[in-house]
Amino acid sequence: MKKYLVLLLTLMLTGAMYSQAKKPTLMVLPSDNWCITNGYYLEFDNQGIKEVVPDYRKAFQQSSELLLAISKINGLMADKGFPLKNAESVIKNINSTSALDNLRSSKDGGSAIAESPVDQLLNQAKADIILQLTWNVNSMGPKKSLTFNLQGLDSYSNKQIATAAGTGTPTFSSEIPVLLEEAVLSFMDPFTNSLQAHFDDLFKNGREVSLRIKKWDDWEFDLESYFGADEEELGILIEDWLADNTVSGRFSTTDATESMLIFEQVRIPLYYDRNGRQVAMDTRRFARNLSSYLRKTFNINNKLTTRGLGEATLILGSK
Amino acid sequence: MKVKKIIPLALIFLLTTTMVFGQSKRKKRKEANIKWNYEIKCEGISNNGDFLLKVFSFADNRSLDMETAKKNAVHGVIFKGIISTDRSCVTQPALVKDINKQKEEKAYFDKFFSPGGAYTKFVNLTTGGAIGANDRFIVKIGRKRYHKIGVMLSVNKNLLRKELEEAGIINKLTSGF
């Protein structure tokens, strides 16, 4: 009897663990505007074109106000059960691996990997929501005030999902770090309020992800080829599958060519049924279902790659 | 003779009825005082995240029960939010967004706002209950004149949120994850 009770409790606990959506990861970064305005930027050669990108490492090393603001935000979010990824730690880690990348070059031309410092940071940090921070000090004679802007950006839909912004009272007496600390304390609740609204939408309407369908160059077919008993274009068959498997059939086809399909605002359910219990769904699992459908129904081999929680790419033709 | 006996009895009856109804009216006015009739003005935020508020409560006379002011402050932070009319503060959303929650969770909130209840943990008088000279007004509501009295208080919104999350009144940010 005891054994059955223990087994039942274990099963219940496991079930409880599994029926939870995957928590998004958050990271605070200063905005491009703040970095460039304050002189923390790099000029980066992106394959012949000069680009200006934020130099986060320099910003973290030289701006104590930035560290104060990030530390305060991290503390307040951790208090709410959402400890953030620390961008400074991620950057230190990147520096240790960038030396290895510098040694790599292509087999044919000897060219180096074309990846900006921002790409490196975002690829390594893999934060699903970036808390983009901007502040400006306004001077009116001897008085100072602070304009503060905190934006929550979804990394994969590129949508602003939360916000808090405003300007404080001009003051003679407070130092900038004090004004900054007060701004963070004042704006965090309105910010998390809009973040909560986003999470409520997530649970009600599904998680919004992106899906890309591409093909290998050497594959004999393409997305306009006919498949199935009804001789339908492969691109249309994929759209039909999405209509059947997304929440309320919600998705948008933003690009459609014979070699590429890009779907955005794809609303995937947060859970799926496995062996009679609810398991958390992510983009990879959702795209894997499409991958299996194409392979089993039409004998189309394909390769699945993902970027974090919100973006998946299926490359048709082979693994 | 009978009439002589009836008149005093009638007078006693009338007097008793008047007293009973008078008590009932006084009780209603007292209830009106604490039926969440107040205005909140944000005065600032402290370093530890406590909100400094000036709460204007309504009283029958010049003396205001400080516990009423405290309850009004906590009630405002929970159900109405803190509206800012100038740049000294940032408008804060209410902790409980559903306006029917107070009715749905009547038992919890009756206990929460009872004398000596949990609300006392989240609010403090910042000026020891002293009322500024410019914080007293006489206003007319209907036919009755009331004293509108402003008191400075601090409310620990973070702790109050945690209390309501623990009680299941509001969801945590991580609910569902």
Per-residue pLDDT of chain A (319 residues; tens, 9 = 90+): 666 555 544 444 444 444 566 788 899 999 999 999 999 998 877 778 888 888 898 999 999 999 999 999 999 999 888 889 888 888 887 766 655 555 444 444 444 445 556 666 666 666 889 999 999 999 888 888 899 999 999 877 778 999 999 988 888 877 888 889 888 988 999 999 999 999 988 888 988 899 999 999 999 999 999 999 999 999 999 999 999 999 999 999 999 999 999 999 999 988 888 888 878 788 899 999 999 999 999 999 999 998 766 889 999 998 8
Q: What is the pLDDT of residue B99?
A: 81
Residues of chain A positioned with their CB less than 8 A from the CB of B51: none
Q: Is the dihedral of CA A296, A297, A303, A305 positive or negative?
A: negative
Distance from C-alpha of A132 to C-alpha of A66, rounded to nearest angstrom: 12
- Report yes or no: A143 at the B interface, CB cutoff 8 Å: no
Question: How is chain A split into domains, by residue range?
Answer: 22-94+113-203, 206-316
Number of domains in chain B: 2
Q: How far is B77 from chain A (nearest CA, A)?
A: 12
Q: How far is A23 from chain B (nearest CA, A)?
A: 5
- Report yes or no: A65 at the B interface, CB cutoff 8 Å: no
Mean pLDDT (whole number) for B35-55: 87
Q: What is the pLDDT of residue B95?
A: 94
Q: What is the pLDDT of residue A17?
A: 44
Residues of chain A positioned with their CB less than 8 A from the CB of B157: 189
Q: What burial class does residue B61 get, using C-beta atoms within 10 Å of its C-beta: 0-12 exposed, 13-18 middle, 19+ buried?
A: exposed
Q: What is the pLDDT of residue A96?
A: 62
Looking at the structure, tell me whether residues B85 and B151 fall in a common domain: yes
Looking at the structure, tell me whether residues B16 and B73 fall in a common domain: no
Stretch among B35-39, B68-72, B167-171 having the lowest mean pLDDT: B35-39
Distance from C-alpha of A36 to C-alpha of A39, rounded to nearest angstrom: 5
Tell me whether strands A302-307 and A277-280 are parallel, antiparallel or unpaired.
Answer: unpaired
Of B45, B158, B172, the CB nearest to A81: B172
| Contact between chains at A80 and B176 (C-beta distance less than 8 A) | no
Q: What is the pLDDT of residue B96?
A: 93
Q: Number of CB pairs < 8 Å for A and B?
A: 56
Looking at the structure, tell me whether residues B70 and B13 fall in a common domain: no
Distance from C-alpha of A124 to C-alpha of A155, rounded to nearest angstrom: 13
Q: What is the pLDDT of residue B84?
A: 84
Q: Has residue B11 been placed in a domain?
A: yes
Structure-block tokens of residue B130: 């002293």
Q: What is the pLDDT of residue A106?
A: 42
* Amino acid code (one letter) for B157: K
**pLDDT mean across residues, chain B:** 83
Tell me the residue range of the domain where B47 lies: 36-166
Asked whether the ipTM of the predicted complex exceeds the cut of 0.90, the reply is no
Q: Has residue B41 been placed in a domain?
A: yes
Looking at the structure, tell me whether residues B115 and B133 fall in a common domain: yes
Higher pLDDT, residue B128 or A246 = A246
- DSSP category for residue A248: G
- DSSP category for residue A21: P
Higher pLDDT, residue A307 or B108 = B108
Fold of A22-94+113-203: Double Stranded RNA Binding Domain (3.30.160)
- DSSP category for residue A171: B
Of B49, B88, B175, the CB nearest to A169: B88
Of B45, B172, B176, the CB nearest to A185: B45
Structure-block tokens of residue A192: 């998390």
Higher pLDDT, residue B18 or B100 = B100
